[in-house]
């Protein structure tokens, strides 16, 4: 379901409280499907395509406050549990701070409310994606070969290429994400709107902070910033996982989330 002014969403489950999932950079709501199908046995689930991603509408710019407000507008009536990974985790955190009445509880996955010096690491992906001549592309395999230098890891390359879609008439290809805005605003996406959130009250609801034990996205020194914004935070480390906790260790991650939801 979508409109020119709302985020694209997929729903699962028919009863229970709402659980909303927010994906990371270059992701889509459907990335959460494996976890969401289990959660939907007891809850109604909303999988959102974040601003500038998937089938959600494009806007001229990106910042976390606007993205959080767009998510708030897409939420069902009443408070919901919100789960967000990476970029989606930052959107979820800003959502909880700006609209605490809409967030019953928050799960931030392998991300902290701090600025990261990692925009440069995504530049090569965006450049390669923008440099691909989709007008002359004949098969997805050609795109895979063209992206190999920028993304030599086949798992990462496959993740990026999920955003390459055939045109509705079947005659061509297009990228779903707004690569121009994403590329121009990588410093904002990897940053944190600390100045804009000055004076905002801490979020007093329960917060689960999940990290992968092999990931470098959550550091010991980030705990102070997390506790300042989210005083009721509890950190859980998932063993055998890097940054993509929910896809690398889906069973362990799902169990942790279910416990947090009270299932």
* Backbone CA torsion sign across 175, 178, 180, 186: negative
Q: In the chain, what are the domain boundaries?
A: 9-115+191-261, 119-186
Q: Which of 159, 199, 182, 222 is nearest to 30 (CA)?
A: 159
What is residue 225's predicted lDDT score, i.e. its pLDDT? 97
Superfamily per CATH, domain 9-115+191-261: Alpha/Beta hydrolase fold, catalytic domain (3.40.50.1820)
The proportion of the chain whose per-residue pLDDT surpasses 90, expressed as a percent, equals: 87
pLDDT at 215: 94
Q: What is the pTM of this model?
A: 0.94
122-175 tens-digit pLDDT: 899 999 999 999 888 888 899 999 999 999 999 899 999 999 998 877 678 999
Structure confidence at residue 244 (pLDDT) = 92
Average pLDDT value for the chain? 94
CA 149, CA 210: separation in Å to the nearest integer? 32
pLDDT, greater one: 263 or 239: 239
At residue 120, the pLDDT reads: 76
The yes-or-no verdict on residue 2 having pLDDT over 50 is: no
- pLDDT bucket at 101, cuts 50 / 70 / 90: very high
- Predicted pLDDT of residue 30: 95
Contact (Cβ atoms closer than 8 angstroms) between residue 241 and residue 215 = yes
Token duo for residue 125: 């992906």
Confidence at residue 204, expressed as pLDDT on a 0 to 100 scale: 98
pLDDT at 77 > cutoff 60:
yes
The whole-number average pLDDT for the span 97-106 is 98
Confidence (pLDDT) at 3: 41
Q: Which whole number is the average pLDDT over 195-214?
A: 97
Pseudo-torsion of CA 97, 99, 101, 105, nearest 10°?
A: -50
Q: Which helix (H) or strand (E) holds 179?
A: helix 179-184
Task: Give percent of the chain above pLDDT 70.
Answer: 97
Contact at 8 Å (CB) between 20 and 46? Answer: yes
Rg (CA), the chain: 18
């Amino acid at each position: 379901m979508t409109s020119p002014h709302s985020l694209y969403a997929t729903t699962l489950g028919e009863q229970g409280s709402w659980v909303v999932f927010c994906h990371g950079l270059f992701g889509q709501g459907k990335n959460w499907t494996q976890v969401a199908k289990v959660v939907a046995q007891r809850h109604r689930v909303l999988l959102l395509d974040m601003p500038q991603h998937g089938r959600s509408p494009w806007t001229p710019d990106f910042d976390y406050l606007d993205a959080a407000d767009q998510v708030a507008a897409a939420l069902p009536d009443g408070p919901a549990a919100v789960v967000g990974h990476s970029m989606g985790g930052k959107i979820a955190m800003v959502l909880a701070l700006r609209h605490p009445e809409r967030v019953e509880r928050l799960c931030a996955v392998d991300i902290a409310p701090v600025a990261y010096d990692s925009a440069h690491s995504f530049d090569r992906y965006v450049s390669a994606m923008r440099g691909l001549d989709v007008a002359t592309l004949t098969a997805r395999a050609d795109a895979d070969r063209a992206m190999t230098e920028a993304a030599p890891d086949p798992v990462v390359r496959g993740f990026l290429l999920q955003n390459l879609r055939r045109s509705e008439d079947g005659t061509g290809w297009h990228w779903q994400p707004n690569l121009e805005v994403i590329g121009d605003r990588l410093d904002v996406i990897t940053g944190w709107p600390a100045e804009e959130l000055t004076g905002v009250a801490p979020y007093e609801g329960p917060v689960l902070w999940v990290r992968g034990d092999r990931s470098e996205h959550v550091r010991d020194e980030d705990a102070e910033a997390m506790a300042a914004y989210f005083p009721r935070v509890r950190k859980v480390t998932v063993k055998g996982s890097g940054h993509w906790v929910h896809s690398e260790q889906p069973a362990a991650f799902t169990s942790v989330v279910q416990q947090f939801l009270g299932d």
